[in-house]
Amino acid sequence: MKLDLPRFTERFGSISLHGVQRVFELDSGSDKGKKVSENITGVGNEQISEIESKMAIVIPIKNERLKLLEGVLSGIPHDCMTIIVSNSPRQPVDRYKLEKESLQQFNRFANKNALIIHQRDEGLAETLREVNYNELIGSDQLIRNGKAEGMVLGMLLAKMAQKEYVGFIDGDNYVPGAVNEYVKIFASGIAMSDTPYKMIRVSWIYKPKISESGIYFSKWGRVSEITNYYLNSLISYYTGFETEVMRTGNSGEHCMSIKLAELLNFSSGFSVETYEIVNLLEQFGGILPTENQEAMDKGVEVMQVETRNPHFHEDKGEAHLKEMINGSLGCIYHSRICHPKLQEKILEELKNKSTLDNNGAPPVLEKINPFKEVDIKTFDKKLHDKATSLIHWNY
């Protein structure tokens, strides 16, 4: 892959937030053919494949069309492990069983390292309790519903499989070629970064809207524009300089090194992607005391790369957008580093958008503490003994 080197970087404590980089060539040939100029770098196919073999791609899924899932599976490069964490209904139709059968059939031909599990599996919750990680467990003693909860499980499973990197791709993507590009972007970003603590986020070139008059290639989703504005304001309140650096505040498609993932606090549901950035600023921004001096010393890098493929995915409607705006702005509002003046602006925004039910502050969302201390060998053994929904193909 041939892509821009970062041209602009916002430094915030020990975090480097790089401006959006563009892709020039999806496939730039083998390592031998790689050409590097002052502005553009090439990451060769051999290097990309090597990184992919150290990466797991997590697909969080809840009741999506099977045809879309099958397309997503076919777009993930062979050397990556695939992890499906499903929260699909089991009744009246067992949608999870259908997903399992799709993966089973796909893997009969693909023979790849893959795993599928249901988020609400009793044995999974029991395993987590036995390794003293109660962060995801709800009042019914099972893992709570929620995309973030599914993602954290996926990260634990990637660590269990001894992967160095974990990436996320939603299960409702219409274009397998776009899925493939996301993973190549993840691998190229990883290759370009110098620190063990890294995150690569995808910025979609277009999020097309389809209407009766045709396709309109819009640049921004309705939620992303607002989230990015407030994330940038959070940064500007400290630096004193306005910035537009953050462009991927809601990017579901992103990846991290496990070394970084296991240090983070996560916010539940659909605020997860926004809060990852807020939590980086909280933990490594130099404002609050840190518990992770090694990451402070080595630095944390966030890259944002713009795709060539447009992002076609399922449109989930207004109520879902409202949930996303409340979650994304709510996690900025409730952060310990959010300036009172910015809190006022967020409240104003939410009032204008009429997304809050009671004109009060946005709801405080459940936080998930880091999984670094989980004894992963015990987790592995107990999970394979207890989780009845688990299937793991280890090629």
Which positions lie near ligand GDD, rule CB under 6 A? Answer: 60-62, 64, 85-87, 119, 145-147, 150, 170-172, 221, 224, 250, 252, 270, 273, 313-314, 316, 320, 324
CA distance 95 to 167: 24
CA distance 67 to 69: 6
48 or 136, CB closer to ligand GDD? 136
Query: Which residue minimizes CB distance to ligand GDD?
Result: 252
321 or 347, CB closer to ligand GDD? 321
CA distance 96 to 184: 29
CB 250 → ligand GDD: shortest distance, Å?
3
39 or 139, CB closer to ligand GDD? 139
CB 366 → ligand GDD: shortest distance, Å?
13
CB 34 → ligand GDD: shortest distance, Å?
33
CB 42 → ligand GDD: shortest distance, Å?
29
CA distance 306 to 4: 10
Q: How far is CA 186 from CA 55, 201, 231, 382, in A?
A: 9, 8, 22, 31
CB 289 → ligand GDD: shortest distance, Å?
30
272 or 295, CB closer to ligand GDD? 272
DSSP state of 393: E
Which residue bears the tokens 């992103």? 254
CB 349 → ligand GDD: shortest distance, Å?
17
CA distance 272 to 152: 10
CA distance 288 to 153: 28
Q: Where are the beta strands (DSSP E) in the chain?
A: 2-4, 9-12, 15-25, 40-42, 55-61, 81-86, 114-118, 165-168, 197-203, 209-211, 214-216, 254-257, 266-267, 300-306, 367-368, 391-393
100 or 313, CB closer to ligand GDD? 313
100 or 147, CB closer to ligand GDD? 147
Helix, strand, or coil here: 127? helix
CB 114 → ligand GDD: shortest distance, Å?
16
13 or 221, CB closer to ligand GDD? 221
